[in-house]
Structure 1
Amino acid sequence: MKPFLIGNAPCSWGMLEFQEAKSAKPIGYQQMLDELAACGYTGTELGDWNFMPSDPAALRVELVKRELTMLGAFVPVALKDESSHQSGIDNAVKTAKLLAAVATTPAPYLVLADNNGSVPERTKLAGRITPAQGLTSSEWATFALGAERVAKAVLEETGLRTVFHHHCAGYVETPAEIASLLERADPALLGLVFDTGHFAFGAGEQGADMISFLDRFADRVWYVHAKDCSASIASRSRNEQWDYFTSLQHGVFCELGKGIVDFSALLKWLRSREYSGYIVVEQDVLPGMGAPKDSAARNLNFLREVESALL
């Protein structure tokens, strides 16, 4: 049985999509890729546009010399707002063309998300969302239509598939909200990148059965992000009513194995489904949390240890 393919992403080196969380002295892409490869990871995501070279030839050189596979790129779109759909499509297609130009096997995904962190109420209540803060039926229709339009354009223009990234501080955070989107969106167009940490935090105080959810939407899980969630920080976030950025800055997404995600159950489930894609580690590293390379190495070692215990 082949070992799981495991990659990592620029967010694990502090390149977060939120300006509020970015380091004043960011690590450059060359150091990040060097360290990622040195740890033993074999794939990377793109990160913010222009973090890595946006010229396909230059980007290909950086990947080939480190023997790395390009796995995907995160593109946020305010899908609730129909007027944002076309600009979102344009950005997604531009990004997907770069991915396609450096694609190997397995092919990368366009990782679509809501414009997370941009709606004050959702940002304030991340980790404790109730149905009252959710979308209406008509808003869901607009949201799903926008996701389908992005995915259709990306597929037609580049041949790449699109996965949706459920994410705290966006309109698709809770298990029920993830289900609502998947039930509305065309399964031939839109898959899911299942993010273990955002699922755990987004489920709130009552939690949710990860494996039952994965079983329900097994055919839609095309890609996986491995992220953990600290029980103590999540509890403080709820009790002290922190917003998403405060929770992030306190380390709600901790190193793998130090939180509440059952990675043994996850890997066992993936084996049972004969999952052959990448598992991408995402630990949102912030200033003061230590050297990203050391954390990345511990995270990879943890996953390999869990994997070995299943053999």
Structure 2
Amino acid sequence: MIKIANAPCSWGALEFDLEKKSEAIGFAQVLDEIKETGYTGTELGDWGFMPTDPKMLREEIQKRNLELLGAFVPVALADRAAHEEGIKTALKVAELMHSAGYNTAFIVLADDNASNRQRTENAGRITPEMGLSQAQWKIFAEGAEKLAKAVKDNYGLRTVFHHHCAGYVETPEEIDTLLSLTNPELLGLCLDMGHYAFGGGDPLKALDKYAQRIWHVHFKDFDPNAAKRSQEVGGDYFDALSKGVFSELGKGNVNFKGIVERLKAIGYDDWIVVEQDILPGMGAPKKSAQANRRYINKLGL
């Protein structure tokens, strides 16, 4: 049965080192509001956002009758020197989830998004010359596989890769390349509908193309008008976020009705996580979470 979760990033709790990060809502309020708006699961959020003691973490999740289903881990995979530290971070997060009893949770691996100026400034309009070289792709893929293997060997947890605007795996072609270079038994795909659309792709086509590789799903909408407004003023990834490029579900151009039909057709039977990425202090997260849950209800989930 497909289950519906939300994540701390919908409340402005992002992994980026932002000046406004202090304005992010605390974890207790986020968990309360996830529960109150009709979701049954959550992701961990940035390290330290939720308790890092496994007993405390489980108590906080359980007392709201929620499940913990994954944790986002960004690593600068194109830099071989960053691999060792990235693996240590992933193992630390995996150990926390495993020790808290969440043994089916995913490590949601991503590039160290927004750390490269060119990629951040051109999010949503990436050209091939902004991409990795063949040698860099080899390093990137090796790092992703090593991390996924370490997590699986040590804690039995699976790893999915989250393509993401403002990182080196944004466009459909870049996703193709990474998946072609990595072991499908070790590394799955976290298909994020909004990032896939912002990166120039059609999520419905991605569902057909990667059906066997999709282990985890994020529901995020994409507003092309917001993207255009940002592009017209030379805005970067964060400017696009501030203009609402990831709108409430049903207000962008992602065909969620078709996506739900396709997910059922390919036999997807796991979590869908709503992620309406916003900047700290932006919008009315609880109202948006409620609107998004109502929209998903209308889709029959």
Select which of 127, 132, 138 maps to 1:130.
127
Cα 1:303–1:198, aligned 2, differ >3 Å: closer, same or farther? same
Select which of 249, 273, 277 maps to 2:242.
249
Cα 1:287–1:209, aligned 2, differ >3 Å: closer, same or farther? closer
Q: How far apart are 1:13 and its partner, in Å?
A: 1.0
Distance 1:221 1:19 in 2: 29
- SS of 2:4's equivalent? strand
Cα 1:275–1:21, aligned 2, differ >3 Å: closer, same or farther? farther
Alignment of 1:174-213 (within 5 A): 174-203=171-200, 208-213=201-206
Query: Which amino acid in structure 2 is aligned with residue 77 of structure 1?
Result: V
Select which of 16, 19, 27 maps to 1:18.
16
Asked if 1:263 corresponds to 2:256, the answer is yes
Cα 1:95–1:288, aligned 2, differ >3 Å: closer, same or farther? closer
Asked if 1:144 corresponds to 2:141, the answer is yes
| Structure-1-length-normalised TM-score | 0.93
Partner of 1:237: 230
Distance 1:93 1:142 in 2: 20
Cα displacement string for residues 16-53 of structure 1 (whole angstroms, at most 9, x for unaligned residues): 11233744432111111011011110000000111100
Q: How far apart are 1:112 and its partner, in Å?
A: 0.4
Query: Which amino acid in structure 2 is aligned with residue 259 of structure 1?
Result: G
Partner of 2:266: 273
Question: Across the two proteins, how many residue pairs are aligned to each other?
Answer: 301
Cα 1:25–1:239, aligned 2, differ >3 Å: closer, same or farther? closer
Cα displacement string for residues 92-123 of structure 1 (whole angstroms, at most 9, x for unaligned residues): 00001111122447x11000000000000111
CA contact (8 A) 1:14 1:22 kept: no
Cα displacement string for residues 165-185 of structure 1 (whole angstroms, at most 9, x for unaligned residues): 000000000010011000101
Q: How far apart are 1:213 and its partner, in Å?
A: 2.1
Select which of 84, 106, 109 maps to 1:109.
106
Partner of 1:90: 88
- SS of 1:307's equivalent? coil
- SS of 2:108's equivalent? strand
Q: How far apart are 1:285 and its partner, in Å?
A: 2.7
Distance 1:28 1:237 in 2: 29
Distance 1:46 1:104 in 2: 11
Partner of 1:161: 158
- SS of 2:238's equivalent? helix
CA contact (8 A) 1:193 1:224 kept: yes
Query: Which amino acid in structure 2 is aligned with residue 184 of structure 1?
Result: L
Distance 2:162 2:111 in 1: 8
- SS of 1:146's equivalent? helix
Query: Which amino acid in structure 2 is aligned with residue 159 of structure 1?
Result: G
CA contact (8 A) 2:12 2:282 kept: no
Partner of 1:43: 41
CA contact (8 A) 2:8 2:30 kept: yes
Cα 1:22–1:281, aligned 2, differ >3 Å: closer, same or farther? farther
Q: Which runs of 5+ in 1 are unaligned?
A: none
- SS of 1:225's equivalent? strand
Asked if 1:172 corresponds to 2:165, the answer is no
Cα displacement string for residues 209-251 of structure 1 (whole angstroms, at most 9, x for unaligned residues): 3222221111110000000111211122333321111111111
Asked if 1:219 corresponds to 2:212, the answer is yes
Query: Which amino acid in structure 2 is aligned with residue 200 of structure 1?
Result: A
CA contact (8 A) 1:20 1:245 kept: no
Partner of 2:68: 70
CA contact (8 A) 1:21 1:249 kept: no
Q: How far apart are 1:130 and its partner, in Å?
A: 0.7
Q: Which moved more, 1:285-294 or 1:133-142?
A: 285-294
Asked if 1:303 corresponds to 2:296, the answer is yes
